[in-house]
Structures are given as C-alpha cells and as structure tokens.
Amino acid sequence: MTKTPDSVVRSFIDQHQAGFLADLADWLRIPSVSADPDRAGDVRRSAEWLVAKLRETGFPVAEVWESDGLPAVFAEWPSGEAEAPTVLVYGHHDVQPAAKADGWDTEPFEPVTIGNRLYARGAADDKGQVFFHTLGLRAHLAATGRTAPAVNLKLLIEGEEESGSPNFGALIRRQAERLAADLVFVSDTGMWSETTPTVCTGMRGKADCQIDLYGPDSDIHSGSFGGAVPNPAVTAAELAAALHDGERRVAVPGFYDGVVELTDRERELFAKLPFDEDGWLRTAKSHGTQGEAGYSTLERIWARPTAEVNGVWGGYTGPGSKTIVPAEAHLKISFRLVAGQDTERVEQAITDWVAGQLPAGIRHEITFRAATRPCLTPLDHPALQSTVRAMGRAFEQEILFTREGGSGPAADLQDVVGAPVLFLGISVPSDGWHSINEKVELDLLRKGVEAAAYLWGDLAENYRLPAAGR
Amino acid sequence: MTKTPDSVVRSFIDQHQAGFLADLADWLRIPSVSADPDRAGDVRRSAEWLVAKLRETGFPVAEVWESDGLPAVFAEWPSGEAEAPTVLVYGHHDVQPAAKADGWDTEPFEPVTIGNRLYARGAADDKGQVFFHTLGLRAHLAATGRTAPAVNLKLLIEGEEESGSPNFGALIRRQAERLAADLVFVSDTGMWSETTPTVCTGMRGKADCQIDLYGPDSDIHSGSFGGAVPNPAVTAAELAAALHDGERRVAVPGFYDGVVELTDRERELFAKLPFDEDGWLRTAKSHGTQGEAGYSTLERIWARPTAEVNGVWGGYTGPGSKTIVPAEAHLKISFRLVAGQDTERVEQAITDWVAGQLPAGIRHEITFRAATRPCLTPLDHPALQSTVRAMGRAFEQEILFTREGGSGPAADLQDVVGAPVLFLGISVPSDGWHSINEKVELDLLRKGVEAAAYLWGDLAENYRLPAAGR
Ligand SMILES: [Zn+2]
Ligand SMILES: [Zn+2]
C-alpha cells in the first residue's frame, strides 16, 4: 500500500484524534457565554485557553486581543515563503447561553460522547469548527514535512459573535494592518447534510430600517373623523403592501440595480441538492411557500434579495375595540441583499421610495441601522476551487454548493481586509445551533480536520495572488 | 302686543329660568361618573335625584330602573288622547370622569356661571340636554293650557353611556313593552355652532372586527427563511392596504350594497354649512384630508361608509432590530356604516373577502364585536319637519342639517322600539365633551327648552301615525 499524501494525513489524524477530542472537551467545559455578564470571566478564560493551545500547536504568535467588550484571539504563523498567499481564518470562541433546565438531555457544559456524536454547547457553533484547524494544520505539516504552513496563516477568533459582534467592526478596523490577508476563510457555517457535503459560496447582506409614521397629533375618534383624514396605520399597511409587486419582487425602483444573477451552472448545482420541500417547511415551521416568481425556494433564500416586515405596530392593540384613527404607526423592515447591490444605494432607493409613497398629512421618519454587505465567490474562483478539492479529498464525494441566507459579521472582514470571503465548515442542520442538545458529528468533525489539512497546500500550489497584489 | 303661543312660552321660561338653573346646578354637583366604581353611589343618587325632579315636574310615573350595572331612570306621562303619538326621549345622567387636576379652571363638580356659560362636568353631555326637557314640558303645558303633554311622553335616561352602555341593550330588551313608542328622540348630540343651528338627521352604524393572522409556528429567522415563506405581518399589511381601492372606496365586494345615497337636497344643505377646512383639521388634529373620491369632507364623515384600521401589531416592536419572520400579526378594523347597509350582510361580505385575500400558509381568525345599526331620517319625514319647525321657532333662523359620524347606543333603541330615531340637541363643538372645562351656552340651553316646548304640540298636530299603526 503506497503512502499517498492523503493516507499520511489520515493516519496522522488517527494517531492524534483522542488527544484532539480531549482538548476540545476541555475547551467546551468553559461556559464562554458572551450574552451573560456573569460569564465574562469564562469568556476570557476561553480566550486564554485557546491562546495556550495555539502556541502548543506551533503558532509563533498567539495573543488575546482586547476589544471594547469581550476578548478575541489572534494568532499568526508565517509560511516563510515569499510567494505564499496570506489566509485569515475567522471563527468565534463564545457560545450561546445554555442550561440543562432548558430541556437538554445532558449538562451543556459537560461534553458527552454518545455514539458518533459529541454533545455540548459550542460543539458545532463554533468551538468544534475552530478547533479542527489545529489538528488540520498539524496534519498538513506532518504530511508535507514542513515546519511552517504552506500559506501565511492568521486566525481571528471572536468573543462576542453570539451577542451580535457589537465591538467587532471597531476591533478589526483598529487591527486592520495585522489582519491584512489575501483570502478570508470563515469556519462558522455548515453543509447541506451528513450525506451531502457542500461548500458555502456567499452570504446575503442586509439593510435594516424603522419607519415612523405620524398622522393626527393624538389618537382621534374614528366616528368623528374616520374616512376624511389619512390614518397612519393604513398608510403603514399600504407602504408595507407596496413593498412587493404582483410577482413578489421588491417594488422599490432601483432595488435590483447591479444584482449578480444566478448563473445557469449555479442553478443546476443547487437543483442537485436533495431538497425536500415538506421537510424544509417543517424546519421553517411554516405552512406554505411564497416568494419571488421564477425562483425556487433555495434560490429565494440564498441568491435573491428580499424585503421583510419584521415588526409593525400602531393604534389600539388591547382587548376589545377602540374606534380611533391612531396618531402614529411604525414599521421595522429589513432587506436581504445579494452580491452586486450597494448598501448605500439601496438605502437611498428605499428612502426616496418611502417619501414618494405617503399621502399628504402623514409625516415620516426613516432610520437605518448599520448595513451588512453581501459576499459571494464565483464558482470559478481559484480559492473556491481549492476549497472544493480539499473537501472532495476529505469526503471522497462530489461537493455541491450552498449559500447562506443570513448576514454575518464576516462581511465586515471582507470590507476591512478587502479580500474575498470563503467558507469552510462541516456542521449540519441537525447540530442544534442556538438550541438544546447541540452536538457535532464526530466523523464530520474529522472530515473538517482533513479538509483543513489539504486546503493550505492546495492554495499554496494553485492560488495565484492577483497581479495588483498586496 | 298680542300674546302668541311662542311669547307665552318665552315669558314662562323667563319666569322659571332661575329655578331651572338652580336645579340643574344641584344635579351637576352629583359626580355621577359611571366609569369610576367608587362613584356608583353617586350615579344612583343622580338617578334618584332625577326621579324626584321628574315627579315634581308632573310625570305620574318616574322610577329608577335597575340594570345589570348602574341604574337608569324611566318616566312616563300619557297624553290622555287616543290618537296622540308616543315619543321616547333618550339621554343619560352619568358623566365622564373629571378632576380639577386634569387642568380644569374650576372644580368640575362645582357648577360656575361665567358670563353666558355654565361650567361643570355634564353641563352639555348630557345633564343639561336632558334637563331642558323638564322646563320645556312645563312651558308646553303652560302655553297650551293642557294638564298632560300633547304626546304620550316617555323618558329613558341611561346611567352607563359614558362607560360604553354595557347593559343598555339587555335593559331595553327586557323593558321593551314599556318602551313602546312611535318616535325616539335622542337628546345627546349637538348643533353645527352657536350661530348655525342645525338638526342631526342620522348616525352612522358600525361593524368592528379583529383579524388574527398566523404564519410560522414561532418567529423564524428572516435570513434563513425570509423571502420564501409568507410573513403574516406582510399579509396583514396587504390585507389592510387592499381595504381601499385607488379612489379610496372600500374594496370589499358587496360592501356598498343598499347604501342610501345622499340626495341632491342634502348635499346642497350640507354645502350651506360654513365649513372651514383648516379649522376642522385643527379640531381633527390632522394635517391633511384623505377620503372617498367625489365627496366632501362632511359627506365623508357623515354620509359615507368607511373602513379604518384602529390597531395593528405583529413581530418585533422593541428598540433596535430583530430580523424575524413573525409568527403572527393582528389587525383591528372598524367599519362605519350608513343607512341601507345591513350589518349582518356587511360582516359576511368582510368575512368572505378576508378569506379570499390570504396566501397559502397563512391561517386566520376573524372575530366581530357587536355591530351597531346606522339610523337616518329622510329630510321629508314629518317628525323631522316638526323638529325643524320647533327649532326654527326657538332660534328664529334657518335650521340646517348635520349628521353624526359616530355610532351610539341610541341605535339599539331603533332596533328594540322599532321606531325612527330623531335628534334634539343644542350643544356646540366648543362645549368640551369628555374634555376639560365642559360648559353649556346658557342662551343655547334656553333655546333647547324652547324647542322642546314647541315640539310636542307640533308633533301632535302634524305627525300622523303610520297606517299600519302600533
Ligand atoms: Zn457561530
Ligand atoms: Zn353623552
């Protein structure tokens, strides 16, 4: 039996798997719940634990990075080769709150292995997916005989992702120089399923506003005045209803400007995913599909921009009735954006459109929260091809593609680092992120280790820095 | 100088005005606030005071009527003539809450006369307008030399009107036999203004519903699922927006079935009212008009059916944002109805329409509260003509017409008594109903006494019972 590079990686992992899992279990025992102020010490302990472990792995630089909130971890291991690309891996070491009383079968911060699964808060989101890089990197070195990774490797492991990353933007802007990279890899997403390994190629962006509508100076009697003055609750409804046309496209002029359309190849590959609409509806806890004409459900949530009313309120909402024309009404509306849409132009288009929709006698204010840019890697991007090859060697199966419908802080990295964002993750929908009984599938975790072990070499070999260079 | 019947009435009033006002002040001192449980004893005291006063006026029957809540007063004085019509006068003896601390210039339950105005809670709404009937009736007897009124007179003075008349419907159904009448006169409305005396010819009715819309079984993430499943907040908005067409007519099929259109004469007379739109907008605390195409503001609020969203809520309504597709959304919608619309048919039309508007995947419930029927007296109705003549003799001016945009418990009387509802009132918009510094204009109050004094004789002379009789 010839020793292929892959078989070397596999036997290295076999040898070190037990220690790797024991270490991960140690980390999972630290309840680094960023949302709980009482756990701030644990979040710090988690950061310090990781720094020590990264030093042990071989990183010459590994440090706790203070933010204005809870600490992040940064590590760096230069390749030593002039032409090597620089890769920044993003993940987070904080976790969602969890308590056995919420309905867990086991103690969430006492990792337990049952069959092929490791149960603990953070097992998949995101400690497991951060940690596979440590053994992956060691396997990469072992299999290649190198003393440093084939790429310049940087790690940024955030400590407040589960609290909405309130200080992340400021941190990375402050540290932009040290974060400089050619590629960003996010290890905080998942795959289609246990049996259908996939690579995520993009995340939607987001614009997010509140619209406050003011009519009469106070609630007035609908018997005396109704039908003769504009009612802000009706205006709110008419505005929200006008958001979509009859094809359920967003009706704001200019909204679709620049949208990167799905390619035939992407649609073809999405269609190969074993999508079960009934099962998906159960996951969505919904009882019907509705969306933009001409697109499948997956295309709608991954690749099409949308508008959603997240909240609406106005007038009397108590028991019984109160026949008023209310003084005000309010809408919270968020827009998911896809590659090619410019968040500022979209916000301007929305602002202009809203102003043009309102009847005389209704005053309004519109306030936007910070927008998130979309990110997308084309299927023919060489770094994406490296990722697919690394995953393919680990899974020995065709790798398909997904996208992420949500919007993450990783998009901030795209802006600050100015590099494309790619995704490497092995979690699956059944892993129970943010829910009870979170787990990671141990054989998938091992595939993650393996893919990470192959990725750096493949990138060093095949990824050419853009001519304009760093 | 010849003694006309009118001059007899006037001198009688002159003679008795002081005592009449002293009595009214006594009644106004009783804080009969039906909404305040601590004032239940005062409401009873007010009823007993009125019973005593009506007996003193000459009513052979005057009694406290117990309801399931606070007591009403009933009185009856038969004419003694076989062909005389029976008239039931409606008013209420309870009042809105009031305290000097709310911003009154005087103590609300210490009546004070300043110039031509009597200030007190209930001065106009409704004790003053109930009480003018006592002196009016005495003047009628004095001027005609009768010992009993020219019509069979009944009074029903409610004790819970300001609390929404929760027990009124049950009370009048229980007492339907004793309330039998050919005509109902409501003395609980007002006129256009001090200088433009008017008679109200109708009140709008009301249908009133809550629509509950259910989408996902719980709030779901709008990044993961938004744009592919129906969002009940969007559905609520689309439903509320679809209520009106481009002409701002109510778009529910069948809604306008049977609507009694304004006659040319009514539109002509409405147009003679000195309507100042800017002033009206100030009263409406609104900053623009909006309503059904082809109708004036007054026509819209008095004579056209409408749909208003009184309340809407769903999803996240707190600070910041929460990117969800909410599990549910709710609408409170009320419809004002005009003569010719059948409340049950309207409710059925709304129910059918709503069901047909919803996308697959949205479940709904619709709940109606008790509807109120509209009432309207045509301009050529003989009882209305008697009213106009009585008002014309009192005011020595042309009497114009208004309608009431709201919906009152009086409409219940129309149903139970089965008689047309007419209106006799002298209050004006500046009287401050339900507000601070409520007052009645003393010269208008006197005109009310006078009109009441003329009305019964005119009716006895000119109102012929319908052939189908009682
Ligand atoms: Zn995560
Ligand atoms: Zn009243």
Whole-angstrom distance, CA of residue B254 vs CA of residue B331 = 21
**Within chain B, what is the greatest distance between any pair of CA atoms?**
92
pLDDT the model gives residue B448: 98
The Å distance, Cα B343 to ligand 2 centre, comes to: 24
Q: Would you state the structure tokens that stand for residue B160, as one six-digit string?
A: 């819970």
The complex scores an ipTM of: 0.88
| Residue A464: pLDDT band with limits 50, 70, 90 | confident
CB within 8 Å: A240 and B237: yes
The answer to whether residue A339 sits within a structural domain is yes
Q: What range does the domain containing A400 cover?
A: 6-203+374-469
C-alpha distance across the termini of chain B, in Å: 43
Same domain, B362 and B426: no
For residue A223, the chain B residues in CB contact (below 8 A) are 204, 206, 336, 404-407
Q: Strand B198-203 vs strand B375-376: parallel, antiparallel, or unpaired?
A: antiparallel
Contacts of A321 in chain B (CB under 8 A): 208, 210, 310, 332, 334, 369
Smallest Cβ distance to A229: which of B289, B292, B361? Answer: B289
Separation of CA B242 from chain center: 30
The answer to whether the beta carbons of residues B452 and B424 sit under 8 Å apart is yes
User: How close A215 comes to chain B (CA, Å)?
Assistant: 6
Same domain, B80 and B144: yes
Annotate A241-257 with three-state secondary structure.
HHCECCCCCECCCCCCC
- Regarding whether A232 and A102 lie in a shared domain, the answer is no
> CA-CA distances (angstroms) from residue A122 to A32, A155, A409, A433, B232?
9, 18, 18, 8, 33
Specify if A314 maps to a domain.
yes
Please tell me whether residues A320 and A423 are part of one structural domain: no
CB contact under 8 A, B226 and A330: no
User: Cβ contact (<8 Å) for B308 and A231?
Assistant: yes
pLDDT digits (tens, 9 = 90+) for A227-283: 999 999 999 999 999 999 999 999 999 999 999 999 999 999 999 999 999 999 998
Chain B positions in Cβ-Cβ contact with residue A246 (cut-off 8 Å):
none
Query: Whose CA is closest to A58, among A79, A40, A42?
Result: A79
Residues in chain A: 470
Number of domains into which chain B is organized: 2
Please tell me whether residues B156 and B241 are part of one structural domain: no
Name residue A333's beta-bridge partners: A209, A309
Closest ligand to C-alpha of residue B427 is 2
Nearest to B227 by CA among A307, A282, A240, A237: A307
**Residues in Cβ contact with B63 at an 8 Å cutoff, skipping those fewer than 6 apart:** B51, B73, B74, B75
Q: What is the pLDDT of residue B106?
A: 97
**Closest residue on chain B to A220 (Cα):** B284
Residue A232 in tokens: 């802000």
Q: How far is A304 from chain B (nearest CA, A)?
A: 8
How far apart (Å, rounded) are the C-alpha atoms in residues B275 and B60? 45
**CA–CA distance, B216 with B283 (Å, rounded to integer):** 43
Structure tokens at B156: 């029903």
B108 in the same domain as B88: yes
Q: Which residues of A touch B304 (CB under 8 A)?
A: 227
The CA B92 to ligand 2 mean position distance, Å, reads 6
CB pair distance less than 8 Å for A310 and B310: no
Structural contact between residues A79 and A151, judged by C-beta atoms closer than 8 angstroms = yes
Query: CA A387, CA A459: separation in Å to the nearest integer?
Result: 8
User: B306–A244: do the CB atoms touch at under 8 Å?
Assistant: no
Residues of chain A contacting B215 with CB distance shorter than 8 Å? 286-287
pLDDT greater than 60 at residue A140: yes
Q: Does some domain include residue A131? A: yes
Contact B347, B324 (CB under 8 A): no
Calculate the average pLDDT of chain A. Answer: 95
Q: Which residues of chain B have pLDDT under 70?
A: 1-3, 466-470
CB contact at 8 A, B284 and B302: no
Between CA B93 and CA B26 the distance in angstroms is 13
Question: Which ligand has the nearest atom to the CA of B188?
Answer: 2
CA distance B276 to B448: 26
- Whether residue B171 sits in one domain with residue B238: no
Q: Give SS3 for A12.
A: helix
Asked whether the bond before A126 is cis by omega within 30 degrees of 0, the reply is yes
Q: Give the pLDDT confidence of A362-385 residue by residue, as tens digits.
A: 999 999 998 999 999 999 999 999
| Residue A325: strand, helix, or coil | strand
Is B252 inside a domain boundary? yes
Neighbours of A280 (CB within 10 A): 18
Q: Which of B236, B284, B324 sits opposite A312 (nearest CB)?
A: B236
- Residue B279 in any domain: the answer is no
Tell me, in angstroms, the distance from the centre of ligand 1 to residue A43's CA. 15
Reference A111, options A101, A98, A102; nearest CA is A98
Q: What's the gap in Å between B438 CA and the centre of ligand 2?
A: 12
**In this structure, are B335 and B401 located in the same domain?**
no
Task: Judge: A223–B407 Cβ closer than 8 Å, yes or no.
Answer: yes
* Rg value, chain B, Cα: 25
Q: Pick the residue from chain B with its C-alpha nearest to A241.
A: B238
Q: Is residue A266 part of a domain?
A: no
Is residue A336 within 8 A of residue A405, CB to CB? The reply is yes
Q: Between β-strands A421-423 and A183-186, what pairing exists: parallel, antiparallel or unpaired?
A: parallel
- For B268, residues 6+ apart whose C-beta sits below 8 A from its C-beta are none
Q: Rounded to whole angstroms, how far apart are CA atoms B65 and A314?
A: 41
- pLDDT of A2 > 80? The answer is no
The answer, yes or no, to whether residue A449 has pLDDT greater than 70, is yes
User: Token pair of B196, please?
Assistant: 């433009």
Q: Looking at the partner chain, which of A206, A225, A287 has a beta carbon nearest the beta carbon of B361?
A: A287
- A-chain CB neighbours of B309 within 8 Å are 231, 233-234, 237, 314-315, 326
Query: Do residues B171 and B216 both lie within one domain?
Result: no
Q: Which residues of A touch B206 (CB under 8 A)?
A: 223, 323
Nearest by CB to residue A311, choosing from B218, B233, B238, is B233
Distance, CA of A248 to CA of A289 (rounded, Å):
12
- Considering only CB atoms, B313 lies closest to which of A281, A301, A313, namely A313
Q: Do B244 and A227 touch (CB under 8 A)?
A: no
* Domain closes at, from B326, B346, B368: B368
Q: Given B223, B237, B361, which is nearest A237 (Cβ)?
A: B237
Q: Of B368, B403, B420, which closes a domain?
A: B368
The string of DSSP codes covering A171-192 is HHHHTTTTT--SEEEE-S-B-S
Are B345 and B438 members of one domain? no
Q: Judge: A234–B217 Cβ closer than 8 Å, yes or no.
A: no
B284 interaction partners in chain A (CB closer than 8 Å): 216, 220, 224-225, 228-229
**Are A350 and A381 in the same domain?**
no
Of A225, A305, A323, the CB nearest to B334: A323
Rounded to the nearest whole angstrom, what is the distance from the C-alpha of residue B86 to the centroid of ligand 2? 23
Residue B411 has φ and ψ, to the nearest 5°, of: -60, -30
Three-class SS state of B8 = helix
Q: Is residue A268 part of a domain?
A: no
Q: Give helix A442-462 / helix A382-395 axis angle, nearest 10°.
A: 140
A324 in any annotated domain:
yes
- CATH of residue B314's domain is 3.30.70.360
Same domain, B38 and B130: yes
Higher-scoring residue by pLDDT: B365, A470: B365
Among A163, A231, A277, A290, pick the best mutation site for testing chain B contact (most B Cβ within 10 A). A290
Of B368, B383, B414, the position where a domain reaches its end is B368
Q: What are the start-end ranges of the E strands in B390-463?
A: 400-404, 421-423, 439-441
Quote the ligand 2 centre to B265 CA distance (angstroms): 29
Rounded Cα distance between B110 and B126, Å, is 16
